[in-house]
């Protein structure tokens, strides 16, 4: 029988056809004859400890003018599916957290949820790097602006960013003596009410912020180096960076060896590591991207590898 796969994602009509990794996964599943069901966060609900959703049957195709079609929706118990992909983009607000709890109920009923809901909650994409400090530059996380100023004074050149963002949103480079320091810290901490992260600036960002894709704890052998635009310090494609394919270095592979076993143990099957120079900066566990860019560069089938790993975990 065909594998029944559900996906929780942002509106499929608004994705970027040429870049979206969720679409790459769905296209690969469709080629294998898997049955696809589509849902958004608002479609999920819980009744008597069973997770349900208003699902639509989904068809996808490689056509940039019309890459999907949906049937009429029907209420489905998620425990009738084999696999659910949790591919909702950040921010990791409370609604996102509630969704992971609902999906955890489906997991308790035997559904394979990728990535594992509890692990998504536990592995904040910025803070989780602290579990691998041997791979990282000096880092401080605080909502206290005085502590962040002290960190800047100690290191002279830092990057500050929110803990729940994506795509380079609200990421600031700050140098000692910056006249905008106060307003930057007020913004990034919401006037001291939200924790932010500060990391020592890594000059090698000029050669790219490398995205390394991890599949069941093992790295894809090439990374996408996202080169910042000339007037920007952020290595994010969404912020205008350009992408170049690079082979993993010996240091990259060492970082993967440090992180990979923990990812596998926690059920984080598809993850994106961000590496600048010799240092791990983020561990992306929610909806990592760059499948389609790397496939175009290397003629590979990364989504197929992810599906192989999923199939290996099914009963």
**Is 292 noted as a catalytic residue in this protein?**
no
Catalytic residue among 88, 234, 292, 305: 234
Cβ atoms 171, 235 nearer than 8 A? no
Q: Is 88 a residue of the active site? A: no
Q: Where are the beta strands (DSSP E) in the chain?
A: 4-8, 35-39, 44-47, 50-60, 68-77, 83-86, 112-114, 139-142, 157-162, 172-175, 196-200, 209-215, 218-219, 222-227, 242-247, 270-276, 279-284
178 is catalytic: no
* Active-site annotation holder among 161, 200, 292, 305: 161
CB 233 within 8 A of CB 209: no
234 is catalytic: yes
Residue 31: how many other CB atoms lie within 10 Å = 14
Exactly one of 116, 282, 292, 305 is catalytic; name it: 282
Marked catalytic residue, from 82, 107, 274, 293:
274
Active-site annotation holds for 232: no
- Phi/psi region, residue 138 (left: phi>0; alpha: psi -120 to 50; beta: rest), is beta
Please pick, among 88, 105, 116, 126, the residue that the annotation labels catalytic. 126
Catalytic residue among 88, 200, 210, 226: 226
Q: Point out the catalytic residue in the list 210, 211, 292, 305.
A: 211
Tokens at 295, concatenated: 């496939």
Is residue 109 among the annotated active site residues? no
Catalytic residue among 284, 292, 293, 305: 284
Contacts 24+ apart (CB under 8 A), 308-311: 309/215, 309/216, 309/269, 309/270, 310/83, 310/112, 310/114, 310/269, 311/3
Residue 274 annotated as catalytic: yes
Is 257 noted as a catalytic residue in this protein? Answer: no
Could you tell me which residues come within 8 angstroms of residue 152 by beta carbon, excluding any fewer than 6 positions away?
158, 174, 175, 176, 181, 198
Active site residues: 126, 161, 211, 226, 234, 274, 282, 284
């Amino acid at each position: 029988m065909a594998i029944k796969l559900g996906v929780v994602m942002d509106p499929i009509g608004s994705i970027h056809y040429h870049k979206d990794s969720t679409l790459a996964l769905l296209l690969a599943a469709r080629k294998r004859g898997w049955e696809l069901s589509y849902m958004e966060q608002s479609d999920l609900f819980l009744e008597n400890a069973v997770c349900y959703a208003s699902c639509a049957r989904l068809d996808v195709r490689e056509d940039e003018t019309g890459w999907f079609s949906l049937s009429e929706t029907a209420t489905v118990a998620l425990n009738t599916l084999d696999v659910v992909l949790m591919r909702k983009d950040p921010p990791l607000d409370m609604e996102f957290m509630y969704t992971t709890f609902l999906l955890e109920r489906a997991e308790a009923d035997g559904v394979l949820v990728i990535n594992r809901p509890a692990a998504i909650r536990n592995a904040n994409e910025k803070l989780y790097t602290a579990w691998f400090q041997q791979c990282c530059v000096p880092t401080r996380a605080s909502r206290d602006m005085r502590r962040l100023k002290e960190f800047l004074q100690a290191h002279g050149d830092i990057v500050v960013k929110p803990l729940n963002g994506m795509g380079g949103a609200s990421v600031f480079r700050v140098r000692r003596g910056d006249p905008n320091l106060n307003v930057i810290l007020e913004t990034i901490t919401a006037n001291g009410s939200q924790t932010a992260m500060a990391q020592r600036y890594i000059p090698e960002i000029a050669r790219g912020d490398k995205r390394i894709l991890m599949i069941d704890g093992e790295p894809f052998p090439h990374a996408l180096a996202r080169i910042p635009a000339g007037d920007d310090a952020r290595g994010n494609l969404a912020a205008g960076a350009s992408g170049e394919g690079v082979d993993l270095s010996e240091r990259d592979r060492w970082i993967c060896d440090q992180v990979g076993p923990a990812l596998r143990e926690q059920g984080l099957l598809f993850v994106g590591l961000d590496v600048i120079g010799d240092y791990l900066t983020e561990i992306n566990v929610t909806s990592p991207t760059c499948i389609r860019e790397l496939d175009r560069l290397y003629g590979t089938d990364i989504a197929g590898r992810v599906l192989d790993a999923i199939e290996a975990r099914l009963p």
